[in-house]
Amino acid sequence: MIQVCTACGTSYDEQQSKIEHCKICEDERQFVPASGQKWTSLNSLQATHCNKWQQHANNLFSLQTVPSFAINQRAFLLQTPHGNILWDCIANFDDATKAIITALGGIHAIAISHPHYYSTMQDWAEAFDAPIYLHVNDSEWIMRYSPHIHLWRNDELEIVPGVKLVRLGGHFAGGCVLHWAHDDGVLLSGDIVQVAPGADAVSFMWSYPNMLPLSAAAVSDITRRLAALKFARLYGAFEQREILADAQQIVMQSGEKYIACLKS
């Protein structure tokens, strides 16, 4: 039976069904709850939760589990002329979700920003026979083998024409964002670039739950890479965390402010 960590949503295979420790949670970029590590099964999760959908544009959807589960991130489905891309992943993969995605055209490829959102990616990939693109620098955090996993190297990877992954590092060594050359440019950032609650700023952290910042050098490198792209909209990992205009300018200004605070 597949076991799912209730704190982070990472899945472990049946050979590890009696596992007591979650490697993801024991890392300082996540946390083990004060009440202790707990597990659930996919069947139990599906019995008490479902996924809600939101359409952000004609060809961009997000899905999120309700009630809140684990980190409670969103996944995104992009519809492109070359096939649908699933960006990031959530643990709850039920029949209703599979049916909706099938009706929308299936999944051509899966790409994930960093290990906190690996969740049950293996099951999504198997259902749609889709490759999963993960950066090789984060390969130690893959907790379940899948033949669908493709490890990529270097700093950029084009998945389909107009859609590419850009490694920024920071939160994780292989942390990446997805750039979509659509309209005036769209950036899907996970929490490699974290959208602030007011949607008028972003931030960057090595550990969000433990509030450990990145260095000025790391943030400078991230903003330098993002300056080379073109994007007007930015969608973060969490509900209502999106910037719908002037996103690139806001990211650059936020980076400058972050670095100034570290140096003051």
pLDDT digits (tens, 9 = 90+) for 114-140: 999 999 999 999 999 999 999 999 999
pLDDT digits (tens, 9 = 90+) for 182-209: 999 999 999 999 999 999 999 999 999 9
pLDDT digits (tens, 9 = 90+) for 78-105: 999 999 999 999 999 999 999 999 999 9
DSSP three-state, residue 14? helix
Q: What is the pLDDT, as a whole number, of residue 253?
A: 99
Q: How many domains does the chain have?
A: 1
Whole-prediction pTM: 0.96
Task: Print the domain residue range for 163.
Answer: 3-263
Q: Which of 172, 61, 45 is nearest to 112 (CA)?
A: 172
- How many other C-beta atoms can be found within 10 angstroms of the C-beta atom of residue 51? 20
Strand order in the sheet with 233-236: 156-160, 163-167, 176-180, 186-190, 233-236, 242-243
At 249, which amino acid appears? Q
Q: Compare 255 and 18 and report the one with higher pLDDT.
A: 255
Kindly report the length of the chain. 264
CATH of the domain at 108: 3.60.15.10
Rounded CA separation 92/98 (Å): 11
**Residue 143: which residues within 8 A CB-CB, separation 6 or more?**
10, 11, 12, 13, 16, 23, 24, 118
Q: What is the pLDDT, as a whole number, of residue 14?
A: 65
Q: Which of 256, 242, 246 is nearest to 197 (CA)?
A: 242
